[in-house]
Structure 1
Amino acid sequence: MTIATSELPPYVSSNPARSFLTELLPEVGKEMGVKFKFRFLPWPRCELAVQDLQAWATMPYVPTPEREAKFLFSQPLYAKKTLLFYYQQDEREYPQTFTALSELQPYKMGGVRGYYYEAMFAEAGLSLDLATSEESSFKKLRAGRVDMVAAVEGVGWDVIRKHFSVDEQQGFHTLKTPLAVGHNFLMTSRNYPQTEQLLERFNQALAKLRRNGVYKAIAERHGVTVDN
């Protein structure tokens, strides 16, 4: 069974040492009696592959009203906190907290095109300059082309450590108020043959791995927060 996904270390990567989910999912598959094959694509193509039934599922994704009309979602794969990162390269003041996104209208926002927060930013009237990847998003931030970028906490710091010098890393900071706190999920098309039964078996297998400690052990190897 094919699962479409893309690079998002430490949660998923073609490099097994940097990929929580590509270590976890084969264990889920063993419990289900199936074998998963990972197909790495750009994020927009992952969703299309599932929609066109070229893959059973994609991960990790966040439910939106538009997606829920077409797709089904698993039980949570992991907990995550999305933060707003900024780069302090002058005396400019950045707000540390906010109660409504509209308060950030003076700032140009960055992130990855097609991610769930794109609609949130647009609805709040924020100026956007979106990229095609997390790496590109943070490089825009470092270059001053955007004022803030949205990223899951672990993903953001992973990109910073991997792509910027030690001196540059000291300039990256986050607002104290998170953009969102929640979970990420596996997403499958409502039209895939027997997908409801497959998803139920997936959820049961995932729950078993949480109970027997396998989930926790794999998560800790990749520095992923355990939410049991």
Structure 2
Amino acid sequence: MGSDLPNNGAIAEVIAEAFADIGYQVSFEFYPWARAMEQAQLGRVDCTGLWLKTDSRESEFYFSEPVLEEKHVFFYNRADKPILDSFEALKLYSYVGLEDFSYGLDLDNIIRAKQINMHRVSNDKQAFGMLLKNRISIYPQEMAVGYYLLRQDFSEQDMKKIAHIEQPFM
């Protein structure tokens, strides 16, 4: 999904069609993650999409059946490949993540317990920029989204500096 994509992207088309089937016409507004959540919590928008289902979110919102299957991976700078072969190894690295973004129950619990250090930023461009400058070691992100964003916001030379751990964390 994205305001710069034809028809706001494939998932937006699925959402629009689902609502059209029950007699509703939708319009999309795009916000950073934290603001999108706030808009929905305050009732300023009727729906918000592409959120990972968590217990706390489920207590506030209704969720549809899944419309997308994703593969979340750890991105890193090729100059300093992390070795993530155990839970203890996770603690050796610095992370960047998006504000108010859920990385799944397991990783969220590790972050909340301060077992890993995660610096929060408001957008992916900042996160990948920190990774490129070696200010952090790891950026967890959905694989296809991550590479799409790299192609959109960074040079080919910068893109060659970034890779991902093959084994998804979620």
User: In the alignment, what sits opposite 2:85?
Assistant: 98
Residue 175 (1) aligns with residue 162 (2): no
Is there any run of 5+ residues in structure 2 with no aligned partner, and where?
none
For 1:128, what is the secondary structure of its paired residue? strand
Q: Is the 8 A contact 1:121 1:128 kept in 2?
A: no
For 1:150, what is the secondary structure of its paired residue? strand
One-letter identity of the residue aligned with 2:96:
G
Query: How far is 1:22 from its partner?
Result: 2.4
Normalization by structure 2: what TM-score?
0.87
For 1:55, what is the secondary structure of its paired residue? coil
Q: Identity over the aligned pairs, expressed in percent?
A: 21
CA distances 1:157-177 after superposition (whole Å, capped 9, x unpaired): 011112222222222111122
Q: Which has the larger radius of gyration?
A: 1
Runs of 4+ in 1 over 6 A off after TM superposition: none
Q: Distance in 2 between matches of 1:41 and 1:73?
A: 19
Q: Distance in 1 between matches of 2:85 and 2:46?
A: 39
Q: 1:98 to 1:177 in 2, by over 3 A?
A: farther
Q: Distance in 2 between matches of 1:171 and 1:20?
A: 29
Identify the match of residue 143 of structure 2 among 147, 150, 153.
153
Residue 13 (1) aligns with residue 2 (2): yes
Is there any run of 5+ residues in structure 1 with no aligned partner, and where?
1-11, 181-228
Give me the CA root mean square deviation: 1.9
For 1:56, what is the secondary structure of its paired residue? coil
| Larger relative contact order (Cα-Cα within 8 Å, sequence gap ≥ 6) | 1
For 2:100, what is the secondary structure of its paired residue? coil
Q: Which has the higher strand share?
A: 1
One-letter identity of the residue aligned with 1:85:
F
CA distances 1:181-202 after superposition (whole Å, capped 9, x unpaired): xxxxxxxxxxxxxxxxxxxxxx
